[in-house]
Amino acid sequence: MLIEIVDSVSCYTYTMIEIKNVSKAFKKKKVLDNVSFVAKPGKVTGFLGPNGAGKTTTMKVLLELIYPDSGEAFVDEARFSQSKTPAKSVGALLDGKLMPKNRTPRTYLISVAKANKLDHTRIPHVLRETGLSHVANKKISTFSLGMCQRLSLSEALLGDPDNLILDEPVNGLDPEGIKWARDLFKKKAEEGKTVLVSSHILSEMENLADEIVIIAKGKIIKTGSLDEVKDGYSSLEDAFISLTGGDAEFKAGF
Ligand SMILES: Nc1ncnc2c1ncn2[C@@H]1O[C@H](COP(=O)(O)OP(=O)(O)OP(=O)(O)O)[C@@H](O)[C@H]1O
Ligand SMILES: [Mg+2]
C-alpha cells in the first residue's frame, strides 16, 4: 500500500512502481535511454509508445527478466527479486506469453499456485473474475487468443497482487472483452493497487488511464495526468501522434 513518511522538513511519498534512469542496449543498439517514471497506487497508468519504442523491454526490466546497463527499477520500494512474496507483490502479463496447450485453466492455475505458494482456493474467484468459469476444465488448446489473454490475466491476479504490470492486456479481446478488462483494471486501481498497462488502443486508454507515460525511441517524451497530456489536443490520439509522429524517426521504433 501507499506509504507516506512525513517529517518536519519535507513530505516523501513512496510509490509502488518506479523506474529510475534506466538505460539498456542490445548489441550496442540503445533501446532504453535514461528511462524514468513512476506508477502510483490507486491509479491506472497507461504506458504508450509506437512499435519498438521500448515498452515491453521496460516492463521486463521491472520484472528483472532483463537487467539494465544502468539505472534501477523498483516495485514496492525494492527490486522485484528481493520480494519475499513476488506473486503477491506483482501480477504480470507480458505480450506474447504462450500457455500450455494440454492443460486446462483449472489445472494450470493449480500448478501456478503451487509454484508460487499461493492460496489455490482463490482459483474459482479469479476464473469468475476473468469470465473463464465455464471453460475451467476445457483444454487450453481449444482457446481463442482472447481466452488465452483472460487466462494470462487470471494468472496475474491469482496472488491478489498490489501491483499489476500488464503488457498489451487487451490484445485479442473483442469489444465486450475490452470493456470488461477496462472495468476490471479500474476496479483494481480503486482497490488501491498500482496498475501499469501498455496498449496501442489510444481511444481505450483515454477511457481507462488516469496517468499517461509516453515512450518513443527508448526515451520518455511525456508523463502526466490524462488531462495534462491531452491539454491543447482534441484527443489522446491527437496528442500521441503529435508527440511521437511529428518526427518520422519516432515512427515504428528504430
Ligand atoms: N532480446 C532482444 N535482443 C535484441 N533487440 C531487442 C530484444 N528485445 C527487444 N529488442 C529491441 O528493442 C526495441 C524495443 O522493443 P520492445 O519490445 O521493448 O518495444 P515495444 O515498445 O514493446 O514494441 P511493441 O509496441 O511492438 O510491442 C526494439 O527495437 C526491439 O527490436
Ligand atoms: Mg511490446
Model-level pTM?
Answer: 0.90
Tell me how far apart the alpha carbons of residues 117 and 136 are, in angstroms, rounded to a whole number: 21
- Grid cell 494450470 — which residue? 108
Which grid cell is 48? 504508450
Per-residue pLDDT, 246 = 53
The ligand 1 atom at the shortest distance from the C-alpha of residue 168 is: 27
Q: Hey, where are the domains in the chain?
A: 3-250
CA of 124 to the centre of ligand 2 (A): 30
Helix (H) or strand (E) holding 200: none
CA of 167 to the centre of ligand 1 (A): 13
Output the ligand 1 site: residues, CB below 6 A.
26, 31, 49, 51-57, 95, 253
CB proximity list for 10: less than 8 A, separation 6 or greater: none
Per-residue pLDDT, 213 = 97
Grouping H, G, I as helix, E, B as strand and the rest as coil, residue 37 is strand
Per-residue pLDDT, 7 = 37
Please give the chain's pLDDT, 254 residues, in tens: 444 444 333 344 455 899 999 999 999 899 999 999 999 999 999 999 999 999 999 999 999 999 999 999 999 888 888 888 888 899 999 976 778 899 999 999 999 999 999 999 999 999 999 999 999 999 999 999 899 999 999 999 999 999 999 999 998 888 989 999 999 999 999 999 999 999 888 988 999 999 999 999 999 999 999 999 999 999 999 999 999 975 444 444 44
Based on the number of CB atoms within 10 Å of its own CB, is 87 exposed (0-12), middle (13-18) or buried (19 or more)? buried
Superfamily of domain 3-250: P-loop containing nucleotide triphosphate hydrolases (3.40.50.300)
Give, using CA atoms, the residue closest to atom 31 of ligand 1. Answer: 52
Strand order across the 70-75 sheet:
29-39, 17-26, 70-75
Tell me how far apart the alpha carbons of residues 218 and 231 are, in angstroms, rounded to a whole number: 23
Which grid cell is 153? 490475466
Per-residue pLDDT, 179 = 92
Give, using CA atoms, the residue closest to atom 6 of ligand 1. Answer: 26
Buried/exposed 205-223: b ≥16 CB within 10 Å, e otherwise: bbebbbbbbbbbbbbbbbb
Q: Which long-range contacts link 182-191 to residues 24+ away (Cβ below 8 Å)?
A: 182/207, 182/208, 184/129, 184/130, 184/153, 185/44, 186/44, 188/164, 189/42, 189/43, 189/44, 190/42
Grouping H, G, I as helix, E, B as strand and the rest as coil, residue 78 is strand
Tell me how far apart the alpha carbons of residues 160 and 120 are, in angstroms, rounded to a whole number: 12
Per-residue pLDDT, 81 = 84
